[in-house]
Homo-oligomer: A and B are copies of this chain.
Amino acid sequence: MVKLSPIVACGTCPIRHNAVCAKCDAEELVILEQAKSYKTLPAGSRLAEAGETLSYFSTIIEGCATISRTLEDGRRQTVGLLLPSDFIGRPGRATSPFDVEALTEVKLCRFERTTFEQLVTDTPHIATRLLTMTLDELDAARDWAVVLGRMTAREKVAAFLVSLARRQAGARGTATAGGRAVVHLPLSREAMSDHLGLTIETTSRQMTALRKDGLIETPTKREIHIPDFDALAFEAAEDDDGGPIV
């Protein structure tokens, strides 16, 4: 089920100013235009497999994917959630240490790996932007370690909804703090649980508890309404003003 998407120019690309190309000038963009190609993959596709060679590095234009590892006995932990403008691949290494799987249909902007590695070397604006993005991801990974290591199930679920709401609002350019917010869940309960380090049963129970406490509303299983964003953030044991700086 792999289909070719209509060609999109970088100038009209929805993630132009957030992706790895964000800092590129018009001249550099011309080079990227020539090297890029688009690909749409269906939900459930493997975009990368731990240890396997990656032919392409990609940026997600649309859709959602997880970075995860599965232990031999089947335990799985999701270690990153990829949304539009996020980058898949690591210059200087041909393989990924984790699995990357599409949760929804995903539209990618791809570069052949070796081509991209050359671009990083030749184009300082790409290297700089990639460093910034990697540092942001590192901060996010460490923020998440606090959730995994020290939070209760209820706090984990609240923290996840809060974090997803912030990212989705950020992508739309809307605010979160204060009033209502809406989150669309691209993850199943199982995928959520793998991200939270919980079982699906515990995740489900905590969702129910948050709903009964009036902290969330669930018109459908994949749509979450947050009547009072700050109240939910409080449940997530947020220590400071407003969550990760990312």
Contacts and interface: CB of A to CB of B under 8 A. Distances in A.
Interface of A: 51, 67, 69-73, 75-77, 79-80, 90-93, 97-98, 124, 127-128, 130-132, 134-135, 137-139, 141-146, 148-150, 196-197, 237, 239-240, 244-245
B79 A150 contact: no
Contacts of A91: 131, 135
A93 B73 CA distance: 41
Given A51-B240, A132-B92, A145-B145, A77 B137 contact: no
Given A131-B134, A145-B145, 20 more contacts: A69-B143, A69-B239, A71-B146, A72-B237, A75-B150, A75-B237, A77-B146, A79-B142, A79-B146, A91-B131, A92-B132, A93-B245, A97-B245, A124-B124, A130-B131, A138-B141, A141-B141, A141-B142, A148-B149, A148-B197
Contacts of A77: 145-146, 149-150
7 contacts: A73-B237, A76-B150, A77-B145, A79-B145, A124-B124, A144-B145, A150-B197
